[in-house]
Amino acid sequence: MLRRIFGVETEFGITFSLRGQRRLSPDEVSRFLFRKVVAWGRSSNVFLENGSRLYLDVGSHPEYATAECDSLDDLVAQDKAGEAILRELVSYAQQQLNEEGIRGDIYLFKNNTDSSGNSYGCHENYCIERIDDLSRLEQVFIPYLISRQIFAGAGKVVTSPKGTAYSMSQRAEHIWESISSATTRSRPIINTRDEPHADPERYRRLHVIVGDSNMSEFATFLKVGTASVVLAMIEDRTTVLRDYNLASPINALRDIAYDLWSKEPIKLTSGRDMTALEIQDDLCERAEHFAQNRSLPDDQRLAVRLWREAIEDFRSDPMSLADRVDWIAKLQIIERERERHGIALSDPRIALIDLLYHDTDLDRGLFYRRQQRNHFRRVVDDDAISKAAVEPPSTTRARMRGTFIRVAKEWRRDYTVDWVHLKLNDEMQRTVLLKDPFKSTDERFQKLLTSLERRER
């Protein structure tokens, strides 16, 4: 599969405080946040006109799932649109709290851990061919995911009984298995629960749980783009791939997270040793050859070129990636603060920097303050993000879902939708089942829209 459907689900951290003191619990502030959502869709679980899904997840975490995308630019725009949509909800909730005389400020963080050590995820979804033999995923894709921290990690200051250290990844400490059907009790790198949201005879949805939430547009583009290419190589049985199976994947995940400059080798089941950088380098070389001999989409070809650029920059000077990679950008800010004030990594001021990097407020968040000074390489512009907040991708099933929701609202019709169903809740209970995520139009869908409008006339 060369053209691919993918999407990202992001759980956000939320708190409400006054001068550093928490005033409301996450559950209480989330209720204010979702008042407007309930008004939109009669519940705290709604699909929006841009094809995405917005809901309140376990632990009072607002969660935004992008619409199905087949373009990396669309994906990045949709991901950033989620932040914009939630900023709008924060503004609305803040106004409600002020009117009720509840003093304090809402903070919405796009990160993966809270102050109590709880973790919440950023999950990637990839539509792959229906395969039941997952051995190639274990041999290639899991080592790829474990080693891609060098460009996809969001960075985290971690305090343990051993002391305080800086980690590339926020999620590495919270993953316990390589492949599993569980998601919370025993978090795996890949979740195998078989929910394709598509024709189960043709497709499988690969649910990746190990990833960090990225603020950097470049990091999101690169992690999803390179993953798509690696999956294409795995699906293509004629492509020869090395067995990168790790002797202890979970230990490797944690070890790589703290090996900031990729100096320490990780043991493979074959007896070989490779560093994270060497695994990425070898996979990138094979992806370059694959791209030369296959009709990859242009954006995936670009992802391979940017992958090579990032590897070479990391090899020569990792800090040169501070304009693209979150964990490096955050480390740069932290080290400058430590040097300026002569403080330890364990200083509370460093913990505050660690948190504020992920603040989604455009004026307060450290990431956005740096982006406004052109310190980050961008993938999409603000106009594309604004458009993605109200319009679905035009080349996937999401176009039909978003259009149906918009038109049904315009005609004030009661409806129900999910990832595969469009239903009008009238006496006829007309339902269209959309099993192909690659199709952006369908005759049955057009008839549904036509019948809806004719009845109103």
- Consecutive H or E run containing 245: none
Give the 3-state secondary structure of 75-116: HHHHHHHHHHHHHHHHHHHHHHHHHCCCCCEEEEECCCECCC
Q: Which residues pair with 390 in a beta bridge?
A: none
From 27, 57, 194, 282, active-site residue: 57
Please name the residue ranges forming H helices in 129-259: 135-136, 142-147, 149-152, 217-235, 249-258
130: Cβ–Cβ under 8 A, 6 or more apart, which residues?
196, 200, 201, 202, 203, 204
Distance of alpha carbon 34 from alpha carbon 379, whole angstroms? 30
Q: Are strands 122-129 and 203-208 parallel, antiparallel or unpaired?
A: antiparallel
Distance of alpha carbon 109 from alpha carbon 113, whole angstroms? 10
Say if residues 334 and 314 touch (Cβ distance below 8 Å).
Answer: no
Distance of alpha carbon 88 from alpha carbon 389, whole angstroms? 11
The terminus-to-terminus CA distance of the chain in angstroms comes to 44
Decide if 57 is catalytic: yes
- Consecutive H or E run containing 291: helix 276-293
Say if residues 353 and 333 touch (Cβ distance below 8 Å).
Answer: yes
Integer CA distances (angstroms), 117 to 111, 352, 354, in order: 12, 15, 14
Distance of alpha carbon 252 from alpha carbon 274, whole angstroms? 11
Integer CA distances (angstroms), 236 to 8, 232, 287, 294, in order: 24, 6, 12, 10
Q: At what angle do helices 72-99 and 26-33 cross, to 10 degrees?
A: 100
Which amino acid is located at 380 in the chain?
V
Which amino acid is located at 142 in the chain?
I
Q: Which residues are catalytic?
A: 57
